[in-house]
């Protein structure tokens, strides 16, 4: 079902949504950039809630990048063994720590972040948003993959293509905020089943609402 709405002024339409969620912190409960980087690596194909649960003990043992750089798989395993695909993730984190060595060296550009094992564009966009640097892309997580095509702002069902489509129609000034705003919409309102059309700030421009409900 193609809901793509080429005539919509998406920058204008998304303003209320961005305003609602602009001050929201990412659902990963981190305290600094080091913790966020570790948590985004661990959260791939796992849930934010699960990573939030295991993180306190992990960061008590390894409070910063310098401490993590001194770890090995045996010392790290007890703190991440419940995480999905923890074997690969341990290797990635230890390699990252060996490269970065100290918190002050954590990069905040797309090129440098995506050069690190376990960090793709989605994770890099999250880190850059929370670091409050100029956005070089739009964060597209599983919620955005579902919601963006429903709205009609993108045609694809692939994260990289959705990001590119959104970047083409939205000004760079809102890239940093729009991905997480749409993600929160997906978490709270535009659920996979029974989306709450009556509570949605975007129902008037949403292609999915118009087709499924008819009176948006």
95: region left, alpha or beta (phi > 0 left; psi from -120 to 50 alpha):
alpha
User: Within a 10 A sphere around the Cβ of 212, how many other Cβ atoms?
Assistant: 13
3-state secondary structure of 23: coil
Total domains in the chain come to 2
Identify the domain boundary among 82, 109, 130: 130
Please check whether residue 74 lies inside any domain of the structure.
yes
Please say whether the beta carbons of 138 and 96 come within 8 A: no
Summarize pLDDT for 64-76 with one digit per residue, the tens: 999 999 999 999 9
Does one domain contain both 80 and 152? no
Residue 13 CB partners (closer than 8 Å, separation 6+): 202, 205
Instruction: Give 136-153 as a DSSP string.
Output: SS----HHHHHHHHHHTS
Please check whether residue 4 lies inside any domain of the structure.
no
> What is d(CA 198, CA 145) in angstroms, rounded to the nearest whole number?
21
Could you tell me how far CA 169 lies from the centroid of its own chain?
A: 20
Does one domain contain both 39 and 111? yes
Mean pLDDT calculated for residue range 147-151: 95
Summarize pLDDT for 2-33 with one digit per residue, the tens: 455 567 899 999 999 999 999 888 999 999 99
Q: Which pLDDT score, from 0 to 100, does residue 93 have? A: 98
Identify the domain boundary among 130, 150, 169: 130
Q: What is the pTM of this model?
A: 0.91
What range does the domain containing 93 cover? Answer: 33-130
**In the predicted structure, residue 215 carries a pLDDT above the cut 70:** no
> What is d(CA 53, CA 213) in angstroms, rounded to the nearest whole number?
38
> What is d(CA 160, CA 163) in angstroms, rounded to the nearest whole number?
5
Residue percentage of the chain with pLDDT more than 70: 96
Please check whether residue 84 lies inside any domain of the structure.
yes
> What is d(CA 38, CA 71) in angstroms, rounded to the nearest whole number?
14
Q: Which pLDDT score, from 0 to 100, does residue 3 have? A: 53
CA distances from residue 126 to 36, 84, 110, 141, 206 in whole angstroms, order as listed: 9, 20, 10, 10, 25
Does one domain contain both 126 and 142? no
Mean pLDDT calculated for residue range 79-88: 97
User: Within a 10 A sphere around the Cβ of 114, how many other Cβ atoms?
Assistant: 17
Dmax (CA) of the chain = 60
> What is d(CA 7, CA 90) in angstroms, rounded to the nearest whole number?
46
User: pLDDT class for 55, splitting at 50, 70, 90?
Assistant: very high
Mean pLDDT calculated for residue range 108-125: 97
> What is d(CA 131, CA 65) in angstroms, rounded to the nearest whole number?
16
DSSP-assigned letter for residue 81:
T
Does one domain contain both 37 and 126? yes
């Amino acid at each position: 079902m193609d809901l793509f709405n080429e005539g919509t002024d998406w920058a204008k339409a998304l303003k209320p949504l961005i305003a609602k969620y602009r001050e929201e912190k990412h659902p990963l409960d981190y305290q600094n950039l080091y913790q966020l980087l570790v948590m985004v690596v661990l959260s791939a194909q796992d849930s934010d809630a699960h990573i939030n649960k295991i993180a306190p003990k992990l960061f008590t043992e390894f409070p910063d990048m310098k401490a993590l750089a001194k770890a090995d798989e045996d010392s790290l395993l007890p703190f991440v063994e419940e995480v999905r695909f923890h074997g690969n993730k341990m290797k990635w984190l230890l390699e990252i720590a060996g490269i970065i060595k100290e918190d002050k060296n954590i990069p905040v550009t797309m090129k440098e972040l995506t050069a690190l094992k376990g960090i793709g564009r989605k994770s890099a966009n999250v880190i850059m948003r929370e670091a409050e640097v100029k956005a070089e892309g739009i964060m597209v997580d599983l919620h955005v993959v579902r919601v963006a095509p429903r709205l009609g702002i993108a045609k694809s069902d692939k994260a990289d293509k959705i990001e590119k489509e959104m970047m083409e129609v939205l000004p760079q000034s809102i890239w940093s905020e729009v991905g997480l705003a749409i993600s929160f919409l997906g978490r709270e309102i535009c659920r996979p089943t029974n989306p709450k059309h009556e509570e949605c700030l975007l129902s008037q421009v949403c292609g999915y609402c118009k087709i499924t409900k008819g009176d948006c």
